[in-house]
């Protein structure tokens, strides 16, 4: 079974530029998560989808971050414009049990904002 | 105060040593996860616990619900065990994980 796929793996941009990340969850997984992990810290949830609906986006900085999962499968996370403090690893995870069970993580996208 | 506290933050051990990583939390939980993160970012789920003890190979995870504490043990540690180990809790009716800041483990040959 294929795991959670993410791209790109690495991205370097200058502040005020835009960037987008893509995630393809495990087939059949209804729940999808985007996390931000700053160096030396644990992951922080940005947004949780159940199919194509948003369950929780309370920690998403909506003035610059947006995410969508239009067909309830793959998802994109966008930052526009980027700030220096957005430098982090962006992790996507999926689950088939609405969040109560195991989450499967992708390899992450390491973003560096200069 | 963070809801999830891990100790130690960093741990260096010699190959073969018995290792313990601790996790304390401050809220009622429905489950606790132990995760492993290797350099490069990918995270792998090791255990999900709601009570008692689980064992997988050289890894053992225990949880004491009354004391709000969990431990991850590694027996006969090996350099390939070097990674960040993260504790995460699923609390109450939430369907989201709250993560600790991780323990960086380095096992020297």
Q: Is the pLDDT assigned to residue B29 strictly greater than 80?
A: yes
How many residues does the structure list for chain A? 114
Partners of residue B101 in chain A, C-beta under 8 Å: 40-42
Instruction: Provide, as residue numbers in chain A, all residues whose Cβ is less than 8 Å from the Cβ of B35.
Output: 105
Do A101 and B48 make contact, defined as CB atoms within 8 angstroms? yes
Q: Which residues of B touch A102 (CB under 8 A)?
A: 33, 45, 48
pLDDT of residue A40: 86
Rounded Cα distance between A43 and A46, Å, is 9
Q: Give me the residue label for tokens 């982090």.
A: A88
The pLDDT value given to residue B92: 65
Could you say which of B48, B95, B101 has the minimum Cβ distance to residue A99? B95
Number of H helices, E strands in chain A: 0, 11
| B27, pLDDT greater than 70 | yes
Q: What is the pLDDT of residue B40?
A: 73
Answer whether residue B83 shows pLDDT above 80. yes
Asked whether the beta carbons of B90 and B97 are under 8 A apart, the reply is yes
User: What is the mean predicted confidence (pLDDT) over A25-51?
Assistant: 93
B97: pLDDT confidence band, cut at 50, 70 and 90?
A: confident
- Mean pLDDT to the nearest integer, A89-99: 86
Give the pLDDT confidence score for residue B1 in this predicted structure.
Answer: 59
Q: According to the model, what pLDDT value does residue A101 have?
A: 73
The residue assigned the tokens 């502040």 is A15
Cβ–Cβ gap B31/A42 under 8 Å: no
């Amino acid at each position: 079974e294929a795991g959670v796929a993410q791209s790109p793996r690495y991205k370097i941009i200058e502040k005020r530029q835009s960037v987008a990340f893509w995630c393809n969850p495990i087939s059949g997984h209804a729940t999808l998560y985007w996390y931000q992990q700053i160096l030396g810290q644990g992951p922080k949830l940005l947004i949780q989808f159940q199919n194509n609906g948003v369950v929780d986006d309370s920690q998403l900085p909506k003035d610059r971050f947006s995410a969508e999962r239009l067909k309830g499968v793959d998802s994109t996370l966008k930052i526009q414009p980027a700030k220096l403090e957005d430098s982090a690893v962006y992790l996507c995870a999926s689950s088939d049990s609405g969040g109560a069970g195991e989450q499967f993580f992708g390899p992450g996208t390491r973003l560096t904002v200069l | 105060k963070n809801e999830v506290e891990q100790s130690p933050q960093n741990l260096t051990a010699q190959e073969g040593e018995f290792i313990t990583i601790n996790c304390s939390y401050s809220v009622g939980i429905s489950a606790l996860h132990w995760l492993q993160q290797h350099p490069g970012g990918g995270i792998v789920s090791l255990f999900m616990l709601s009570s008692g003890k689980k064992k997988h190979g050289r890894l053992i995870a225990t949880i004491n619900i009354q004391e709000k504490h969990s431990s991850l043990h590694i027996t006969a540690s090996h350099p390939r065990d070097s990674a960040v180990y993260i504790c995460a809790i699923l609390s109450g009716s939430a369907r989201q994980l709250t993560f600790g800041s991780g323990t960086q483990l380095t096992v020297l040959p």
